[in-house]
């Protein structure tokens, strides 16, 4: 039997402030369904409602030490959830306006301009991911793809075997392909860059 289920909200809050995980779980189990229903009613989207409630409880735990609930706990959670829902709706509207503006721009402007922007963004994304490769692998990859050295030349320069160079380049390509999530239209450019 869960002893925390016998505690009042006030007692649970005091335990959570002291870092009690079981008390936090009790609050979560006690109020998750109510809050989810409230958020779902406002957002009309199950995934968004779940995200908001999850975010609400994560914030509650993260700020538990300074938690100062003056009214009842459900009222506090309800108001906090409402603020998070309103922020989600605001973000959704901003995102929708951005997508509309981008669509209007695309409809009235030359596709080549958008392609150039996409290429620049893609090149920047590839460069950022290359920088995240392990140092030796990055060095081998850059010699291969930026300085166009052969495997033999890279091996001589770094004092390693051709086989190691080949393996490092193959591993770098595999890692970059996994990390780079791009629209299908840009996939051809990624493949070209990684395999050139």
* CA–CA distance, 181 with 171 (Å, rounded to integer): 17
The sign of the torsion formed by the CA atoms of 88, 51, 43, 81 equals negative
Residue ranges of domains in the chain, CATH in brackets: 9-100 (1.10.1740.10), 113-195 (1.10.10.10)
pTM of the model: 0.48
Per-residue pLDDT of the chain (196 residues; tens, 9 = 90+): 455 678 888 888 889 888 899 999 999 999 999 999 989 998 888 988 999 999 999 988 888 888 777 668 888 888 888 888 888 888 877 766 656 665 665 565 555 544 555 667 767 777 888 888 888 988 988 888 777 888 898 899 889 998 998 998 888 888 877 776 544 444 445 555 555 5
Dist. CA 77–CA 123, nearest whole Å: 45
């Amino acid at each position: 039997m869960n002893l925390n289920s016998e505690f009042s909200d006030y007692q649970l809050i005091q335990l959570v402030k002291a870092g009690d995980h079981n008390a936090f779980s009790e609050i979560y189990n006690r109020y998750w369904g109510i809050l989810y229903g409230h958020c779902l009613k406002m957002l009309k989207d199950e995934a968004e409602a779940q995200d908001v409630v999850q975010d609400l409880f994560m914030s509650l735990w993260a700020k538990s030490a300074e938690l100062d609930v003056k009214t009842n706990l459900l009222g506090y959670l309800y108001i906090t959830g409402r603020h998070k829902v309103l922020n989600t709706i605001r973000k959704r509207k901003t995102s929708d306006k951005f997508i509309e503006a981008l669509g209007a721009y695309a409809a009235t402007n030359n596709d080549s301009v958008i392609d150039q922007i996409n290429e620049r963004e893609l090149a920047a994304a590839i460069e950022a991911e290359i920088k995240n490769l392990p140092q030796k692998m990055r060095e081998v990859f850059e010699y291969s793809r930026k300085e166009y050295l052969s495997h033999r030349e890279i091996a001589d320069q770094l004092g390693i075997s051709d086989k190691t160079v080949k393996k490092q380049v193959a591993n770098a390509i595999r890692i970059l392909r996994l990390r780079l999530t791009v629209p299908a239209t840009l996939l051809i450019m990624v493949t070209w860059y990684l395999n050139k």
